[in-house]
């Protein structure tokens, strides 16, 4: 009696991000956010761990009067949630909101970047972790540049994959940005998704091949 082979579960992709990953108010439907487009194309199971205003440092502490959250450079709440998702690939899209704390809290932002990336590198050995901070354009805004340098430098030291590809997919193109000039709109999210799909296929081909085998 022949048996039907059990199919492998869809790869789990975790996205740890900010309002660029939630879509904020700049997209017309949640399914149009870049991470959802990527997962639809690659047949990945999307776990979106994103919140407006989140950063390595920003909004990572306790509750504040009025509903906000304080910054923190040692919070593990979001990171532990990443682990519980048992990911096959993790993409970290943080940094944009941390620029607001510069220059006065540069040391704390640096500690927060080191804390988060070191945690993921140590606890997710064997799992691809792609660090892809987003800024509306490279070379615009000195504080953005400082955060970008901090993130890429520490990621490289830890042996994580680090890339500007989300930023270069937009590159300040007003036709891909919402009216605030920071958040990508539907066209921007589509551009980021196309770029990221190609990047994943190049840098995490094993996870992409699992998708192909299930088709």
Residue 75 in domain: yes
Domain that holds residue 184: 12-214
Inside any domain, residue 29? yes
Q: Is residue 105 situated within a structural domain?
A: yes
Q: Is residue 5 part of a domain?
A: no
pLDDT of residue 112: 98
**173-206 confidence digits (pLDDT tens):** 999 999 999 999 999 999 999 999 999 999 999 9
Residue 25 covered by a domain = yes
State which H helix or E strand residue 47 sits in: strand 45-50
Q: Is residue 2, in this structure, part of any structural domain at all? A: no
- Token pair 């979106």 is found at 48
Contact call for residues 191 and 32 (beta carbons, < 8 A): no
Q: Output the pTM of the full model.
A: 0.92
Q: Is the peptide bond before 103 cis (omega within 30 degrees of 0)?
A: yes
Q: What residue has token string 């909101």?
A: 97
- Do the Cβ atoms of 172 and 132 come closer than 8 Å? no
pLDDT digits (tens, 9 = 90+) for 32-86: 999 999 999 999 999 999 999 999 999 999 888 887 889 999 999 999 999 999 9
Confidence of residue 6 (pLDDT cuts 50, 70, 90): very low
Q: What CATH number does the domain containing 145 carry?
A: 3.40.50.1110
Residue 4 lies inside a defined structural domain of this protein: no
Identify whether 62 is part of a domain.
yes
Pairwise CA distance, residues 75 & 93, whole Å: 17
**Domains: count for the chain:** 1
CA end-to-end distance (rounded Å), the chain: 25
User: Which of 75, 78, 76, 72 has its CA nearest to residue 101?
Assistant: 72
- Which pairs from 178-181 meet CB under 8 Å and 24+ separation? 178/24, 178/25, 178/26, 180/26, 181/136
């Amino acid at each position: 009696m022949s048996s039907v082979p059990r199919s492998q579960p869809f790869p789990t992709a975790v996205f740890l991000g900010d309002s660029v990953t939630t879509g904020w108010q700049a997209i017309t439907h949640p399914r149009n956010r870049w991470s959802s487009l990527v997962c639809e194309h690659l047949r990945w199971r999307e776990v979106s761990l994103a919140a407006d205003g989140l950063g390595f440092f920003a909004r990572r502490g306790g509750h504040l009067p009025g509903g906000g959250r304080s910054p923190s450079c040692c919070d593990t709440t979001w990171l532990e949630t990443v682990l519980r998702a048992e990911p096959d690939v993790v993409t970290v899209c943080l940094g944009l909101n941390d620029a607001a704390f510069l220059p006065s809290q540069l040391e704390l932002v640096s500690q927060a970047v080191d804390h988060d990336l070191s945690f993921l590198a140590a606890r997710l050995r064997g799992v691809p972790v792609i660090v892809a901070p987003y800024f509306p354009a490279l070379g615009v805004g000195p504080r953005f540049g400082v955060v970008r340098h901090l993130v890429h430098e520490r990621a490289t030291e830890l042996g994580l994959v680090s890339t500007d590809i989300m930023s270069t997919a937009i590159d300040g193109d007003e036709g891909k940005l919402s009216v605030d000039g920071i958040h990508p709109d539907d066209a921007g999210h589509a551009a980021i998704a196309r770029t990221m799909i190609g990047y994943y296929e190049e840098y995490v081909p094993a996870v992409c091949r699992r998708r192909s085998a299930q088709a």
